[in-house]
Structure 1
Amino acid sequence: MNDKGLINFRDIGGLKVPAGVLQTGYFFRSGAIAGITQEQSAFLRDECRIGDVYDFRSTDEVRQAPDTQVSGTTYYHIDILSDKTSNGASLGSMITSGNKVHENMLKTYESIVLSKSAQKGYHDFMMGLLEDNAPILFHCFAGKDRTGFAAAVILRIAGANDQQIMDDYLLTNKLRVQANQDILNRFKDEMNQQQLDNLHVALMVDSDYLKHANDILLERFGTFDHYLKNGLQLPRDYVAQFRNKFVVE
C-alpha cells in the first residue's frame, strides 16, 4: 500500500499469532495528520476507509496543529499524558536537558504505564476498539511513544511475541528519517550542536524505552493481564473479545 508520504504510517495487522492472523487493514498508526494534503486525506478516507481517528497528543499540541479533518471520520482526542505535562515528555524540555534525553525518555515511558491519564486514556481507546466497526487511525505527534506503546498493547493482546512487537516499534526509526531531518533542518540555525544532538535523540525510539515500560508494568502489576485488568480497568474477558473480533484464522 502506497502511504502517500504520510509520516510514520503503517498497518500493524497481518502478523501471525498463535490464534491466527491479526486482521489487516484495520489498525493504522502514524504521526500527526495536521496539514496533510488532499491526496493524503483521500487516501485515508477511500483506501484505508478510516472510521475513527484517535489523537493521543496534549491539548497544547492539538491547539497548535489541529488534525486535518478526514471526511467521514469521527475524531477522538485522548490526552495520554495530561497529568504529566511537566515530566520532560515535550521536545522542548528534552532539547535543553543536557545529556539527559535518554533518562527523560525512560521517565516518560514510566508515565505512559503508570499515570492516571494514560491508564484512563488507553482504557477508553481499547474499549473503543471493541465498538468500532470500521478501520481506525491512532497517532500522537511523532507517532513513536504514546502511539508506539498503544501499538505494543494491541499486538500483545492479539498474541504477538516480544520480537514482533519490538520490530513494529523500531520501524519508526526507518519511517521517520526524512521527517526527523526536516525538523533538524528547521532548527539548525537556532540551536547549538548539543541541542541539535539532543533533538535528534529525542526524535528516535530505542528498544530500552519499550523494555523499560514492560519492566515497570511487570513490577507494578505482576503480569500483562493484571495490567489490563487493574491498570486499564478492562473487562476480564477483554483479550478473548478482542481476539474473537480481530484475530482471523
Structure 2
Amino acid sequence: MNDKGLVNFRDIGGIRVPSGKLQSGYFFRSGQIAGISQEQTAFLQDQCRIRDVYDFRSTDEVKQAPDSAISGAKYYHIDILSDKTSNGASLGAMITDGNKVHENMLKTYESIVLSQSAQQGYHDFMTDLLADDAPILFHCFAGKDRTGFAAAVILKVAGADDQQIMDDYLLTNQLRVKANEDLLNRFKNEMNQQQLDNLHTALLVDADYLRHANDVLLEHFGSFDGYLKNGLDLPSDYIARFREKFVTD
C-alpha cells in the first residue's frame, strides 16, 4: 500500500499470531495528520476507509496543529499524558538542556503506563475498538511513544510475541528519517548543537523505552492481564472478545 508520504504511517495488522492472523485494514498508526495534502486525505478516506481518528496529543499540541479533516470520519481527542505537568512526549519537552533525553523518555514511559490520564485514555481507546467495526487511525505528534505503546498493547492483546511487537515499535526509526531531518533543519538556526543533538535523540525510539514500560507494567500489575484488568479496567474476557473479532484463522 502506497502511504502517499504520510509520516510514520502503517497498518499494524497482517501479522501471524498463534490463533491465526491479526486482520489487516483496521488498525492504522501514524504521526500527526495536520496540514496533510488532499491526496493524503483522499488516501485515508478512500483506500484505508478510516472512520475514527484517535489523537493522543496534548490540548496545546492539538491547538497548534489541528488534524486535517477526513470526510466521514469521527475525531476523538484523548490526551494520554494530561496528568504529566511537562508533557514529555511533546516537541517542546524533547529539547532539554544537558544529556537527559534518555532518562526523560524512560520517565515518560512510566507515565504512559501509570498515570491516571493514560490509563483512562487507553481504557477508552481499547473499549472503543470492541464497540466499532470501522477502520481507525491512531496517532500522536511523532507517532512513536503514546502511539507506539498503544500499538504494542493492541499487538499483545492479539497474541503477538515480544519480537513482533518490538519490530513494529522500532520501525518508527526507519519511517521517520525524512520527517526527523526536516524538523532538525527547521530548528538548526534557533538551537545550539546540544539542543539539536537532544532533539535528534528524542525523535528516535529506543528498545530500552518499551522494555522499561513493560518492566514498570509487570512491577505494578504482575502481568499483562493484570494491567488490562487493574490498570485499564477492562473486562476479564477482553482478550478473548478482541481475538474473536479481529484475529482470523
TM range, smaller chain: over 0.9
Aligned partner of 1:38 in structure 2 is: 38
CA distance in 1, matches of 2:138, 2:76: 9
Aligned partner of 2:112 in structure 1 is: 112
Query: 2:58 is matched by which residue type in structure 1?
Result: S
8 A Cα contact 1:138 1:147, kept in partner: yes
CA distance in 1, matches of 2:167, 2:224: 19
Distance 1:20-1:71 versus aligned 2 partners, 3 A rule: same
8 A Cα contact 1:89 1:104, kept in partner: no
Query: 1:145 is matched by which residue type in structure 2?
Result: D
Tell me by how many angstroms 1:92 deviates: 2.2
CA distance in 2, matches of 1:123, 1:95: 30
Aligned partner of 2:64 in structure 1 is: 64
Query: 1:70 is matched by which residue type in structure 2?
Result: I
Aligned partner of 1:121 in structure 2 is: 121
Aligned partner of 1:186 in structure 2 is: 186
Matched, 1:50 2:50: yes
Aligned partner of 1:167 in structure 2 is: 167
Matches within 5 A, 1:128-207: 128-207=128-207
SS for the counterpart of 2:228 is helix
CA distance in 2, matches of 1:64, 1:58: 10
Deviations 1:93-145 (A, max 9, x none): 33133100000000000000000000000000000000111100000000000
8 A Cα contact 2:28 2:136, kept in partner: yes
* RMSD of aligned alpha carbons: 0.8
Matched, 1:75 2:45: no
Aligned partner of 2:91 in structure 1 is: 91
Aligned partner of 1:3 in structure 2 is: 3
Query: 1:45 is matched by which residue type in structure 2?
Result: Q
Query: 2:46 is matched by which residue type in structure 1?
Result: D
CA distance in 1, matches of 2:21, 2:38: 32
CA distance in 2, matches of 1:174, 1:86: 27
Tell me by how many angstroms 1:87 deviates: 5.4
CA distance in 2, matches of 1:109, 1:186: 27
CA distance in 2, matches of 1:128, 1:17: 22
Query: 1:4 is matched by which residue type in structure 2?
Result: K
Query: 2:212 is matched by which residue type in structure 1?
Result: H
Tell me by how many angstroms 1:229 deviates: 0.2
CA distance in 2, matches of 1:54, 1:99: 32
Q: Which runs of 5+ in 2 are unaligned?
A: none
Tell me by how many angstroms 1:223 deviates: 0.3
Aligned partner of 1:224 in structure 2 is: 224
Query: 2:123 is matched by which residue type in structure 1?
Result: H
CA distance in 2, matches of 1:5, 1:89: 23
Higher mean C-alpha displacement, 78-87 vs 30-39:
78-87
* Identity over aligned pairs, percent: 80
Query: 2:8 is matched by which residue type in structure 1?
Result: N
CA distance in 2, matches of 1:131, 1:169: 26
Aligned partner of 1:27 in structure 2 is: 27
8 A Cα contact 2:157 2:242, kept in partner: yes
SS for the counterpart of 1:167 is helix
